[in-house]
Chains A and B, each alone.
Chain A
Amino acid sequence: MLKGKKIIIFGDGGEIGVESLKRWLEAADAEVVLGRQDCFS
C-alpha cells in the first residue's frame, strides 16, 4: 500500500526516529516528502 505514496513522517526522537522511518518506508517504495522529529504539542 506504500508503493508510490508520498509520506510525511513524524519520528519519536528515539528508536523510531525520522532516519529509521525514512529508511523503512523508502524500502517499501514510498517517497518521504517531509520528516519531523516531533509533534505539534
Chain B
Amino acid sequence: MSQENVARIAEEQNKDNLIAIWGISDIQPLIIGAITINKGDCFGFSGALANKELGLKSYHVLEPEIIAAIPQTIYAQEIMFIELSKDPSKLQMIFEIMRALRDSATLDKLMSKIENHDESSGPLMNEILKSVNPKFALPK
C-alpha cells in the first residue's frame, strides 16, 4: 500500500519538480527508502516499486540546503533544538549518504553492489555504507 501511494503520486506529478524529504534519522530505513523511491524496490519488499525506477531524489530535512529554505523564525522556534539534540557526527554521516544517493554515478555503483552482493562479504548495509565512505559502518 505504501509503495503504491508513492508510485501513484510520482506518476501523477512532474518528476522534475518532485522530491522526497525525510525526517527519519535511522540510517538503515533511510537508505532503503531513498534507494527504493529512486531506483525501485531492490530489497525484496515486493511492493509496487519492485523494478520500478521513479528517479526521485531524497533529502534529509536537516540538510543545510533544506534548512536554508525554511523561514528563520520556524527554524529557531521548532527545528534548532531538534538539530542540537542529534549526534553531530551521525548527522554529517546522514548528509554524506544523502548526497551520495542523489549522485547518479555513485548510486549506479551502489546498485551494482546491491545486485552482486554476496552474504559472505558481510551485511549488505555495511557494504553500501563503506561504498559511500570507507569509515562508515552501522552501529553495533
Would A40 and B3 count as touching, CB distance under 8 A? yes
Would B69 and A39 count as touching, CB distance under 8 A? no
Instruction: Tally the A-B contacts, defined by beta carbons under 8 Å.
Output: 107
Chain A residues within an 8 Å CB radius of B71? 27-28
Interface residues on A, range: 20 to 34
B5-23 residues with Cβ-Cβ distance < 8 A to A are 5-6, 9-10, 13-14, 17-23
- Known A-B contacts A8-B9, A28-B69, A28-B70; the reply to A41 vs B45 at CB < 8 A is yes
A23 to B71, CA, bound (A): 11
Question: Could you jot down 10 A-B contacts, CB within 8 Å?
Answer: A5-B19, A8-B10, A16-B61, A24-B70, A27-B70, A34-B5, A40-B3, A40-B29, A40-B36, A41-B43
Question: A-contacting residues of B (Cβ < 8 Å)?
Answer: 2-3, 5-6, 9-10, 13-14, 17-26, 28-30, 32-33, 36-37, 41, 43, 45, 47, 56, 61, 65-66, 68-71, 74, 78-79, 82
